[in-house]
Chains A and B, each alone.
Chain A
Amino acid sequence: MFDLAGKTALVTGATGGIGGEIAKVLAQAGAKVALSGTRAERLEAVAAEIGENAVVVPANLADTESVDGLIKAAEEALGGQLDILVNNAGITRDQLAMRLKDEDWQAVLDVNLTSAFKLARNSLRGMMKRRHGRVINITSIVGVTGNPGQANYAAAKAGMIGWSKSMAQEVAARGITINCVAPGFITTAMTEELGDAQKEKLLAGIPAGRMGDSKEIAAAVLFLASDEASYVTGQTLHVNGGMAMI
């Protein structure tokens, strides 16, 4: 099950906790994985952990030229056309809506929504020719439920679900699937910073009684990337310990 031997993949935001884990799991399943992110040194470290199945393609998704050239750069580094795109990179600029600055709205939409769409669009050409492709977008529970202080982030993540469904319908007959994975609260460097009181309150809302592990997100991505998931498209797979059942 879930054998990705001979496949190529690009994971954006591969320096983060979730992105790094996704890259590792895809490589373990046999895929050759291109790791993208802004921090070149950290990328090299993740690549070294993975071994020979990893290549590094640094890119800043806030930069238009970097976004437009990324699929080509990844395919060159991988030595072949892209089979699996995982749009995992994302930024936050949290603020109450009333105080949210235009530039913080725009920055989050540019990176989390627009760059992800462009990367998917730019990878479709090769996938259409080969009648096979997988696009997996890491959205968020917040894109479906909303969250105070995250109007920009929620909008971008909801938008991602919207374009995924449209694109999925366009290319379904060509053997290409487009899906989203929506994590709930996952243990990462970011959530580690929460205080005990905050954590307690948070856990009260999660039936599983614990935060998720990035491995549990990577497993969902692996399934959607596999040939076994060929009839699943336009869906959002929620991985949240039961925190929201949608």
Chain B
Amino acid sequence: MSDVADRVKKIVVEHLGVEEDKVTENASFIDDLGADSLDTVELVMAFEEEFGCEIPDDAAEKILTVKDAIDFIEKANS
């Protein structure tokens, strides 16, 4: 597993207060991890801070799963 994936999952676990084994790559923040829409905004803010990148609103709207977040960040940082 990549370093980005580890860090993304750690943020999700801390932020949503969910069990680590539930944070699979295909887990949806809202449907599987119990996030509400404001939680997703906060997650994006936390990712921006952790990875020092900017996630524009139109991209943020498409980040629905853990994998979406990892893919976006890996692409942004490459």
Residues of A within 8 A of B (CB): 125, 128-129, 170-171, 173-174
Q: Is B76 an interface residue (CB 8 A)?
A: no
In the assembled complex, the Cα of A171 lies from the Cα of B38 at a distance in Å of: 8
B14 to chain A, nearest CB (A): 13
Residues of B with Cβ closer than 8 Å to A?
38, 42, 45
Total A-B residue contacts, Cβ distance less than 8 Å: 8
Overall SS of chain B's interface: helix
Contact (Cβ within 8 A) A129 B38: no
Q: Are A125 and B38 in contact (CB under 8 A)?
A: no
Nearest-neighbor residue (CB-CB) of A129 within chain B: B45
Known: A128-B42, A170-B38. 6 other contacts (CB 8 A): A125-B45, A128-B45, A129-B45, A171-B38, A173-B38, A174-B38
Nearest B residue to A173 via CB reads B38
* 8 closest cross-chain pairs (CB), A and B: A170-B38, A128-B42, A125-B45, A129-B45, A171-B38, A174-B38, A128-B45, A173-B38
CA distance A174 to B41 in the complex (A): 12
Chain A contacts for B38, CB-based, 8 A: 170-171, 173-174
Closest to A125 in B: B45
Bound complex: CA of A125 vs CA of B41, how far in Å? Answer: 10
Residue of B nearest to A128 (CB): B42
Report A-chain residues with C-beta under 8 Å of the C-beta of B45.
Answer: 125, 128-129
| A150 to B38 CA separation, bound complex (whole angstroms) | 36
Q: List 8 A-B contacts (CB under 8 A).
A: A125-B45, A128-B42, A128-B45, A129-B45, A170-B38, A171-B38, A173-B38, A174-B38
